[in-house]
Amino acid sequence: MLSGMPIIDVRKLHKRYGDKVAVNDVSFTVERGEIFGILGPNGAGKTTTVECIEGLRRPDGGEVTVLGLDPLRDTLELRKRLGVQLQESELPERIKVGEALELYASFYTDPSDPDELLDLLGLTDKRGTAYKKLSGGQKQRLSIALSLIGNPEVAVLDELTTGLDPQARREVWSLIESIRDRGVTILLVTHFMEEAERLCDRLALIDQGEVVAVDTPAGLVEGVDDEQRIRFRPSEPVADHVFTELPEVRAVERQGTRIVVTGTGNVLYAVASVLARKQIIAKELRVDQASLDDAFVALTGRKLD
């Protein structure tokens, strides 16, 4: 594979089921070493897109390459280099964690060390535990381990944390970051805004089968609204002009004893500096700014959920 070539290259991907268009001219690239997210509501075409990337579905149009390989023509070669965690997967209830890893390891010529994966994913003490006795979070950890057992260069993780409680979700996020640190390029499919903002270097927003934007999470937000709103209650009275004279400030509003300063750029530092010079304490300080959810609404006209 040529250096500088995208790890995943999707061009004008099209897939329909009968009269329904599931994916309509979707295009994006994934670079080596990044966590690239596909973010969108349920039914947006995310899973169909990744199934075409994995070689599990045949596109009706467009081109897909992964590691320079065609997922349909080069299926056997790609399976040696691509790890996949499906949106829904089950194992036999009685199979033990260690047995599942050893079974999957036997499918590859150069697998990862099962013991190292168990340690990485915090499952060492569950080696002898039957699959049916694992918690939801432990099953997801095992699913990740199985997607990595082949020592893949790329891992596709589809709706990895759906159904997990907030604590288990954050633990899985930390694991994903550690996997990327091992040199694995990750394609992450999600409908959780917080997950996308926390993990992804870049995102493709998909809605109704189409890509509406591709950028970093910060870039998507900045493209919608770069304003920040600083809310606080000053420890002593302060005139509006103290803030309106700052070049970063656009507006000042009073809400009872609270002040709301709206601005752009490094407005928080500017406001904090002027308050410090006047020895005024900003009590109950809160900073509001546009979110990825706001960006999705602005780009699609509706909320993600």
Which domains occur in the chain, in start order?
Answer: 8-221 (3.40.50.300), 226-289 (3.30.70.100)
Cβ proximity of 195 and 173 under 8 Å: yes
What is the C-alpha to C-alpha distance for residues 303 and 44, in angstroms, rounded to an integer?
13
Please report the pLDDT score of residue 50 as a whole number.
Answer: 93
Please report the pLDDT score of residue 87 as a whole number.
Answer: 65
pLDDT bucket at 73, cuts 50 / 70 / 90: very high
Residue 184 CA: distances (Å) to CA of 26, 173, 191, 268: 24, 15, 22, 37
The pLDDT tens digits for 189-219 are 988 888 999 999 999 999 999 999 999 998 8
pLDDT > 50? residue 1: no
* C-alpha closest to that of 289 among 243, 225, 244: 225
Please report the pLDDT score of residue 101 as a whole number.
Answer: 92
Helices 166-181 & 136-148 angle (0-180, nearest 10): 10
- State mean pLDDT over 123-140: 90
Min mean pLDDT across 98-102, 138-142, 184-188, 277-281 is at 138-142
pLDDT bucket at 305, cuts 50 / 70 / 90: low
* C-alpha closest to that of 25 among 204, 175, 152, 240: 204
Cβ proximity of 231 and 286 under 8 Å: yes
Q: Which residue has the higher pLDDT, 58 or 109?
A: 58
Please report the pLDDT score of residue 2 as a whole number.
Answer: 44
Please report the pLDDT score of residue 165 as a whole number.
Answer: 79
Residues 253, 258, 262, 263, CA torsion sign: positive
- DSSP result, the chain: --TT--SEEEEEEEEEETTEEEEEEEEEEE-TT-EEEEE--TTSSHHHHHHHHHTSS--SEEEEEETTB-TTTTHHHHHTTEEEE-SS----TT-BHHHHHHHHHTT-SSPPPHHHHHHHTT-GGGTT-BGGGS-HHHHHHHHHHHHHTT--SEEEEESTTTT--HHHHHHHHHHHHHHHHTT-EEEEEE--HHHHHHH-SEEEEEETTEEEEEE-HHHHHHHH---EEEEEEESS---THHHHTSTTEEEEEEETTEEEEEE-SSHHHHHHHHHHHTT--EEEEEEEE--HHHHHHHHHSS---
* C-alpha closest to that of 149 among 181, 183, 117: 117
The pLDDT tens digits for 214-245 are 999 988 888 777 788 999 999 999 999 999 99
Q: How many residues does the chain have?
A: 305
What's this model's pTM, rounded to 2 decimal places? Answer: 0.78
Please report the pLDDT score of residue 166 as a whole number.
Answer: 84
Average pLDDT, the chain: 89
- State mean pLDDT over 94-110: 91
- State mean pLDDT over 100-112: 89
